[in-house]
Amino acid sequence: MHLPQALNALGSLLGQRLSTSKHDLDLHGRSESYFALTPPDAVAYPQTTAEVQQIVRICAEHGVPVTGWGAGTSLEGHALAVQGGLVVDFSQMDKVLEIRAADMDVTVQPGVTREALNQELRATGLFFSVDPGANASLGGMAATGASGTTSVRYGTMRENVLALQVVLADGRVIRTGNQARKSASGYDLTGLMVGSEGTLGLLTELTLRLHGVPEAVSAGVCAFGRIEDAVDAVLDTIQMGIPVARIEFVDAATAAAFNAYAGTSLPECPHLMVEFHGSPEGVAQDSARFGEIAEDHDGLGFQWSTLEEDRRALWAMRHNAYYAILASRPGARALVTDICVPISRLARAVTETQADLAQASIPGPILGHVGDGNFHSILMFDPENPAELAEAKALSHRMVQRALDLGGTATGEHGVGMGKLGYMQREHGAGWDVMTTLKQAMDPQGILNPGKLIRPR
Amino acid sequence: MHLPQALNALGSLLGQRLSTSKHDLDLHGRSESYFALTPPDAVAYPQTTAEVQQIVRICAEHGVPVTGWGAGTSLEGHALAVQGGLVVDFSQMDKVLEIRAADMDVTVQPGVTREALNQELRATGLFFSVDPGANASLGGMAATGASGTTSVRYGTMRENVLALQVVLADGRVIRTGNQARKSASGYDLTGLMVGSEGTLGLLTELTLRLHGVPEAVSAGVCAFGRIEDAVDAVLDTIQMGIPVARIEFVDAATAAAFNAYAGTSLPECPHLMVEFHGSPEGVAQDSARFGEIAEDHDGLGFQWSTLEEDRRALWAMRHNAYYAILASRPGARALVTDICVPISRLARAVTETQADLAQASIPGPILGHVGDGNFHSILMFDPENPAELAEAKALSHRMVQRALDLGGTATGEHGVGMGKLGYMQREHGAGWDVMTTLKQAMDPQGILNPGKLIRPR
């Protein structure tokens, strides 16, 4: 790596938009997770694809690692420059380029956040569905294959990215996909890029699928005496084909954290939170059918509403869960686990995880997007106490092993980054070698986000 | 290529299941399209993944091309061994390995056809949704990224393949994906394999997503005086979010061909055929809303039914369209075009194509999966008259150029094979080079289905 020469060239290109200030480096050395501070050597703030192309060319020439940065909300350290080099911060590429309402799609720059996009779409009757909770950047969401509460109905980023513009490791710019809703024209490069975590290219433009704002929305919450009953109710809902738009599980500890954080008075037991989208008659019928299922599984009364204020309150709780849980142990940091299992194994995965957590000395409330078989435990540890971090890692490790034993995946939505590298061999076997082969073919120098996703050299 | 040595080794492995009979070679040298007879050097009929692995190892050792064969229903010559070598016919790998009703998925061998699978699923209340018309093999459908009438609601093969077992060019066996409904664990190798047309590996096992058989189904048909009105009705239906399960367009010539073929008495003008899946109340409401849209666009009366016999008659017509159209010109062969455009450009793409066809000396009825923006013209030519084949190719060429001009794709669902190779550069530009790079990394010898999808060497 010839860093000084690269920084000279980058400085000529970007002027003030190349930063080596300690403040900037530290800001881009932090993650929302438990990883140690990892400041890069410099931060670039490009404004155009052409600038990103020039940046990558300069870094390629001088062998300098390049790591993309969206909103910094990744939980697996994706955006940390673990081998030093340059972080490319896309916050100044934040324009919604074109809304095509008739085609129900939109083209954006990577730095647009999902909330900013939905704000911009308000007058169109359309919305962008993928909702990971955090106000992540759309580039980061595509790069990490994000999903969230609505994926059970509208899909993850994989299903919602139609086309990309990508700067490759050698500075070439390609376009993958197009506006056609389906295509059988060659390898699915869009699908290869989504979830590639910046290791195959930097995303400089995204065309995203939009959905019509439903005519009516109903949302509700139901408490259950036992976790198994709540999970069985999810299973029945999915298997009966009730078109649930969201179906979220929170355990008793999460409900208690909500109450403490937001002054609510939920019973301190497991809950399901659901939402239905459709016509007024349709959502009423879906809500009624879900209510019957909940009753069959000893639900403690399902209450639902189509009023926007009620729904907002309900989902604000869910979206604030992470902060509510963190607030329940002041000073703690969190290791957030993320496994996904076939839905028939969900009850077993959740109850075994809960039993494991019951033996632990640190708290780990459970919540998740259970319609997909995906759930998390938010393991809180005292950052001053290495034994607690070690225990959190051990609990997370056993959760992943459990998921893989049950035919699931080490990460449902948070990605590999650094945190899940150690499970790639077991999950993919020779398939991981294939990923490494693809990486070497596309980035032979290994300058794009080194240390993530693929086998370390 | 050391063919004799390879055939010796293959003969020892497979015995009678390696064939070099003229009958077998000719059978595997034909396609359902206009390509010339292209017999391979031999045909293998493996029964297990281990045999496929041995076959590929032998072919790799001796530099012999390997081309997969499912049911031979491809329209772009995918399964033709254009550089000679071995065709691997998967018809003896035709077992449904495991139906997991609770997880709503199934694992099959590649030679299972979609109709055989749905037959096997009859008692489960589940069905496999992708329906390209032909009774294709599921391995072939995954390899070519097939879709069809129901994709507007349930997605294409890309959305319905959860996991694969793949034999790579060097004989390694990998598993991609797993039973989890979503995963952010590394590059989406499943997605890379779907639509790769046998150029990156041979699919030996598929795990497919199933859907619940809807409680109620309604289907109906509506004639329109003008193509533009029919297409505008599609646009409104999609944009209003009516959850149509199928929405098919047929033009006046296709309606006339139906009448002649099946003794029906459709008005000889453009039609839309639609289907709705849901609760009895839901499908009645959806049908009524579609009826209003049709009326707004001067539809000539929308008739719908929830009776199975009526629906079967309707879709039998649609499924037999290809044969009905071929029968309308005895002795003709067909070149079936396959473009897909953003839905806002659909009316323009269809009407410009119709105007072009009106000038032609050969007939080319238009029909398609218009909810996705995808449509076909079935261009019929006299196989004894080279000028007619040339005219068909010229019409197809102009259709593709039109699709690309309108921001669409050269192939919505039939794939690249040989027929669309010439458009890859224009559609993908440097992206096609990336596909070639990936191919070279995964199959450096170029033995897997050479001559398809990627840039010829």
Q: What is the pLDDT of residue A355?
A: 96
Residue of A nearest to B286 (CA): A279
Confidence of residue B79 (pLDDT cuts 50, 70, 90): very high
CB contact under 8 A, A442 and B442: no
Euclidean distance between CA atoms A389 and A330, whole angstroms: 16
Q: What is the pLDDT of residue A34?
A: 84
Q: What is the pLDDT of residue A313?
A: 82
Q: What is the pLDDT of residue A190?
A: 98
Residue of A nearest to B282 (CA): A282
CATH code 3.30.70.2190 for B215-327: yes
DSSP SS3 for B429: coil
Contact A70, A90 (CB under 8 A): yes
CB-neighbour burial class of residue A298 (10 A; exposed 0-12, middle 13-18, buried 19+): middle
CATH number of the domain located at residue range(s) B3-91 in this protein: 3.30.43.10
Q: Residues of A with CB below 8 A from B169's CB?
A: none
Confidence of residue A33 (pLDDT cuts 50, 70, 90): confident
Q: What is the pLDDT of residue B337?
A: 96
Confidence of residue A45 (pLDDT cuts 50, 70, 90): very high
**Section B96-120 average pLDDT:** 97
Q: What is the pLDDT of residue B32?
A: 83
Q: What is the pLDDT of residue A271?
A: 95
What's the pLDDT tens digit per position in B219-235? 999 999 999 999 999 98
**Section A381-389 average pLDDT:** 95
Q: Residues of A with CB below 8 A from B186's CB?
A: 195, 416, 424, 427-428, 431-432, 435, 453
Q: How far is A408 from chain B (nearest CA, A)?
A: 5
Q: What is the mean pLDDT of chain A?
A: 95
ipTM of the complex model:
0.96
Q: How many CA atoms lie within 13 A of B34 on its CB side?
A: 23
Confidence of residue B317 (pLDDT cuts 50, 70, 90): confident
Euclidean distance between CA atoms B398 and A267, whole angstroms: 66
CB contact under 8 A, A159 and B159: yes
Q: What is the pLDDT of residue B1?
A: 82
Beta strands per DSSP E along A289-370: 299-305, 333-336, 339-340, 366-369
Contact B143, B449 (CB under 8 A): no
Concatenated DSSP letters for B345-374? GHHHHHHHHHHHHHTSSS---EEEEGGGTE
**Section A120-143 average pLDDT:** 96
Confirm whether B93-212 and B215-327 share one CATH topology. Answer: no
Residue of A nearest to B435 (CA): A187
Helices (H), B188-299: 189-193, 227-239, 252-262, 280-296
Which H helix or E strand runs over A377? strand A374-381
Q: What is the pLDDT of residue B251?
A: 94
Q: What is the pLDDT of residue B232?
A: 93
For chain B, what are the domain ranges? Answer: 3-91, 93-212, 215-327
What's the pLDDT tens digit per position in B360-405? 999 999 999 999 999 999 999 999 999 999 999 999 999 999 999 9
What's the pLDDT tens digit per position in A329-379? 999 999 999 999 999 999 999 999 999 999 999 999 999 999 999 999 999
Confidence of residue B410 (pLDDT cuts 50, 70, 90): very high
DSSP SS3 for B55: helix
Unique residue bearing structure tokens 């459908």: B141
Q: Residues of B with CB below 8 A from A162's CB?
A: none
Q: Residues of A with CB below 8 A from B416's CB?
A: 184-186
Euclidean distance between CA atoms A328 and A345, whole angstroms: 30
Contact A137, A358 (CB under 8 A): no
Euclidean distance between CA atoms B350 and B367, whole angstroms: 10
Q: What is the pLDDT of residue B165?
A: 98
Is the pLDDT at A318 greater than 90? The verdict is: no
Contact A264, A388 (CB under 8 A): no
Phi, psi of A127 (to 5 degrees): -145, 160
What's the pLDDT tens digit per position in B134-145? 999 999 999 999
CB contact under 8 A, A191 and B146: no
Hey, which CATH number is domain A214-327, 3.30.70.2190, 3.60.15.10, 1.10.3080.10, 3.20.20.80? 3.30.70.2190
CB-neighbour burial class of residue B15 (10 A; exposed 0-12, middle 13-18, buried 19+): exposed
DSSP letter at B35 equals: P
Reported residue count of chain B is 457
Q: Residues of B with CB below 8 A from A212's CB?
A: 239-241
Compare CB distances from A412 to B180, B342, B441 and report the shortest one's residue. B180
DSSP SS3 for A228: helix
What's the pLDDT tens digit per position in A432-443? 999 999 999 999
Q: Residues of B with CB below 8 A from A341's CB?
A: 180
Euclidean distance between CA atoms A198 and A110, whole angstroms: 12
Compare CB distances from B175 to A196, A282, A429 and report the shortest one's residue. A429
Q: How many CB pairs under 8 A join A and B?
A: 276
CB atoms within 10 A of CB B359: 7
Query: Which class would CATH give A93-212?
Result: alpha beta
